[in-house]
A and B are shown apart, each in its own frame.
Chain A
């Protein structure tokens, strides 16, 4: 059986599983799995670019995804009335000053001769800068957060169409990746893993605490949508008529239609990114990347700038994760920083990449769909299993209650087992690199 046939069969199996979900559960959940599967695939594509083609170990995917989510808020939400004049500009000024302080400290580090004088000067600049920064920032933040705290209490966004936030999310993530990559790559040895792990936590902490920016844990809800609202569809006579023509009631038809529109949008993005990744990897640039990966010493000897290539691919991969993050927040139409957890947004994506096949873009997509499907469906399966196990137990038994309640945790266990089984018995993934 040749590889193409095998791959087609693998994708067909997943399609069948999703269609089965549609019949057995509901078409709504089936379409939701497809939509999130598309987003997951895009994230996996980004990580695959970094790991599969350059061997970079990024454990801060969550942070880049969250930056994409932030972009969705900052681009699409309407600006809060009066927030900019009361404190917005002051906040921006303070942030610029903070950045200036860091730059000044770095310049001092570079310019002055090493010694106690330099250390003291750098510390002095940082300390003074920090207090001035806080003195400027704190009152401005208070002023902004005081504006109608129950509803806004933040700067708001630019009020632009939400679709713009997708590339912007990519840019945000790329910017963060550039900063991280600049510091963590290209010393004699890298420390990218710990750097990404730390930055991701910091990004989430900022999102949770800087209320003036995105309302923190109070969440931003009701983001504008790129697709029509269900309620509008239900009120539209022509839509109801068409739905009736297909034999659907208006409510169900509207939710399905909205999801289909999202799926179409996501699929377009995925296809574009997939096309670009494939093109890039068969270009001289991609061949060079693989040459570096497979024999860095030789590539370096041939004059290839390994660090610069690694930085590029790290930025690109992170940007893709940022785009996916913006897309996800768009579909949720809310930003809830409390829900960003490393197991779900970092390690799960890794499972997708490894299971799908490191170094193969189609593998990443397959992994994205398969693992997302499992992530969603293991819980009902676990519940079913637990109900089966506990069927014989008496009603109200503590063990029974505990077991049924614990079914929710089965998904973590399953993901771990799937990852370990694939690594052990099919280490190159379901669709191996050619």
Chain B
């Protein structure tokens, strides 16, 4: 704290300010993109990255997803799974490596501009606007769209019927599973070309988890590639076309979901036998 000149010295006086909801994504200027044909639809290729001047968290880590696929990142706590996602989304400082989307190198783009390029991201926490209604959450998801997005909203409501029922309720009043549906729905509103989910089932009950996985598969069937981080490795790998096991910020195992599930070493270390 004392080495951060603009820190608050532990002040928690809400009559001077309210840090709740304050952003953590450091603003950065967007650089240029250039064509880089070939390869998977979205790939974070040999990424070495960290926060600011801090140490590297990712070491030569590669994550990719292709059209029509679900790719899952699993691994122990602190393995850099979420960090890997964030690196793909441009929220870290990339020291080495590239991110390519649909034949274009987007390594130097800011997160906002990646949204405009068609990437949808659902963070693990704080992934809905709690004080706004469900419908307003979806509208905000469609913020960058200037066309008529009523069709998309209808599709989201078809996918998550409970949201239609609760559309005028404040999203913060919903249950955990419903909130995750709002979060995914919000990201779908941009009509993303690829959807990235950071632990979509964190903190929901097993029944709700199954339902959420079903929905995610349904989204994938509409043709949107999905890259997600999951804590529940076994279930996630079961639905995965491609799986990445990360350990300490580096690729440990890579393969199809089935291969990884069958791999005795993976089973022993990460799936509990």
A residues at B contact (CB < 8 Å): 51-52, 54-57, 189-195, 290, 292-296, 358-359, 427-428, 433
Most B Cβ at <10 Å: residue of A54, A294, A427, A433: A294
B265 within 8 Å of A by Cβ?
no
In this complex, what residue of B is CB-closest to A297? B10
12 further A-B contacts with Cβ under 8 Å, apart from A51-B9, A191-B14, A194-B15, are A54-B10, A55-B8, A55-B9, A55-B10, A55-B11, A189-B12, A193-B13, A193-B16, A293-B1, A294-B10, A295-B1, A428-B5
Q: Can you list 25 A-B contacts with CB-CB less than 8 angstroms, sorted by A residue number? A: A52-B9, A54-B10, A55-B9, A55-B10, A57-B11, A189-B12, A189-B13, A190-B12, A190-B14, A191-B15, A193-B13, A193-B16, A195-B15, A290-B2, A293-B1, A293-B2, A293-B9, A293-B10, A294-B1, A296-B10, A296-B12, A359-B9, A427-B5, A428-B5, A433-B2
Task: List, in ascending order, chain A residues with CB within 8 A of B8's CB.
Answer: 55
Task: List, in ascending order, chain A residues with CB within 8 A of B2's CB.
Answer: 290, 293-294, 359, 433
Task: List, in ascending order, chain A residues with CB within 8 A of B14's CB.
Answer: 189-191
- A232-B1 Cα distance, complex, nearest whole Å: 56
The answer to whether A192 and B1 touch across the interface, beta carbons within 8 angstroms, is: no
In this complex, what residue of B is CB-closest to A189? B14
Nearest first, the 9 A-B pairs at minimum CB distance are: A55-B9, A427-B5, A194-B15, A55-B11, A294-B1, A191-B15, A55-B10, A293-B10, A189-B14
Q: How far apart are A264's CB and chain B's nearest CB, in angstroms?
A: 35
Q: Scan residues 1-39 of chain B and give those whose CB is less than 8 A from a CB of chain A.
A: 1-2, 5-6, 8-16
- A295-B8 Cα distance, complex, nearest whole Å: 11
Known pairs A295-B1, A427-B5, A428-B5; A57 contacts B13 (CB<8 A): yes
In this complex, what residue of A is CB-closest to B5? A427
In this complex, what residue of A is CB-closest to B18? A189
- A295-B14 Cα distance, complex, nearest whole Å: 18
- A189-B11 Cα distance, complex, nearest whole Å: 9
- A20-B13 Cα distance, complex, nearest whole Å: 43
The answer to whether A427 and B1 touch across the interface, beta carbons within 8 angstroms, is: no
Q: How far apart are A55's CB and chain B's nearest CB, in angstroms?
A: 3
Task: List, in ascending order, chain A residues with CB within 8 A of B10's CB.
Answer: 54-55, 292-296
Known pairs A293-B1, A433-B2; A192 contacts B13 (CB<8 A): yes
- A195-B10 Cα distance, complex, nearest whole Å: 18
- A433-B13 Cα distance, complex, nearest whole Å: 22
- A424-B23 Cα distance, complex, nearest whole Å: 21
In this complex, what residue of B is CB-closest to A191? B15
The answer to whether B5 and A192 touch across the interface, beta carbons within 8 angstroms, is: no
Q: How far apart are B15's CB and chain A's nearest CB, in angstroms?
A: 4
- A428-B1 Cα distance, complex, nearest whole Å: 12
Q: How far apart are B14's CB and chain A's nearest CB, in angstroms?
A: 4
In this complex, what residue of A is CB-closest to B9? A55
- A194-B12 Cα distance, complex, nearest whole Å: 13
Specify which of B6, B11, B15 is in contact with A427 (CB 8 Å cutoff).
B6
Known pairs A51-B9, A293-B9, A296-B10; A57 contacts B16 (CB<8 A): yes
- A54-B2 Cα distance, complex, nearest whole Å: 11
Task: List, in ascending order, chain A residues with CB within 8 A of B1's CB.
Answer: 293-295
Q: How far apart are B52's CB and chain A's nearest CB, in angstroms?
A: 17
Task: List, in ascending order, chain B residues with CB within 8 A of A56's CB.
Answer: 11, 13
- A57-B11 Cα distance, complex, nearest whole Å: 7
Q: How far apart are A235's CB and chain B's nearest CB, in angstroms?
A: 54
Q: How far apart are A131's CB and chain B's nearest CB, in angstroms?
A: 33
Task: List, in ascending order, chain B residues with CB within 8 A of A292's CB.
Answer: 10
Task: List, in ascending order, chain A residues with CB within 8 A of B12's CB.
Answer: 189-190, 296
Task: List, in ascending order, chain A residues with CB within 8 A of B13's CB.
Answer: 56-57, 189-193
In this complex, what residue of A is CB-closest to B6? A427
In this complex, what residue of A is CB-closest to B13? A190
- A293-B4 Cα distance, complex, nearest whole Å: 12
- A294-B12 Cα distance, complex, nearest whole Å: 12
In this complex, what residue of B is CB-closest to A294? B1
Task: List, in ascending order, chain A residues with CB within 8 A of B9's CB.
Answer: 51-52, 54-55, 293, 358-359
- A303-B163 Cα distance, complex, nearest whole Å: 44
Q: How far apart are A286's CB and chain B's nearest CB, in angstroms?
A: 13
Task: List, in ascending order, chain B residues with CB within 8 A of A296's CB.
Answer: 10, 12
In this complex, what residue of B is CB-closest to A289? B10
Task: List, in ascending order, chain A residues with CB within 8 A of B5's CB.
Answer: 427-428
- A296-B7 Cα distance, complex, nearest whole Å: 13
User: Chain B 176-216, CB within 8 Å of chain A: the 1/0 string?
Assistant: 00000000000000000000000000000000000000000
Task: List, in ascending order, chain A residues with CB within 8 A of B11's CB.
Answer: 55-57, 190
In this complex, what residue of A is CB-closest to B1? A294
- A433-B1 Cα distance, complex, nearest whole Å: 11
- A55-B13 Cα distance, complex, nearest whole Å: 9
The answer to whether B6 and A192 touch across the interface, beta carbons within 8 angstroms, is: no
Q: How far apart are A289's CB and chain B's nearest CB, in angstroms?
A: 10
- A192-B9 Cα distance, complex, nearest whole Å: 15
In this complex, what residue of B is CB-closest to A359? B2
Most A Cβ at <10 Å: residue of B6, B8, B9, B11: B9
- A16-B9 Cα distance, complex, nearest whole Å: 34
Q: How far apart are A197's CB and chain B's nearest CB, in angstroms?
A: 8
- A194-B15 Cα distance, complex, nearest whole Å: 6
- A358-B1 Cα distance, complex, nearest whole Å: 12
Q: How far apart are A132's CB and chain B's nearest CB, in angstroms?
A: 34
- A193-B13 Cα distance, complex, nearest whole Å: 7
Q: How far apart are B19's CB and chain A's nearest CB, in angstroms?
A: 11
- A295-B10 Cα distance, complex, nearest whole Å: 7
Q: How far apart are B6's CB and chain A's nearest CB, in angstroms?
A: 6
Q: How far apart are A334's CB and chain B's nearest CB, in angstroms?
A: 34
Q: How far apart are B166's CB and chain A's nearest CB, in angstroms?
A: 29
- A215-B165 Cα distance, complex, nearest whole Å: 68
Task: List, in ascending order, chain B residues with CB within 8 A of A427's CB.
Answer: 5-6
Most A Cβ at <10 Å: residue of B2, B8, B13: B13
- A56-B8 Cα distance, complex, nearest whole Å: 9
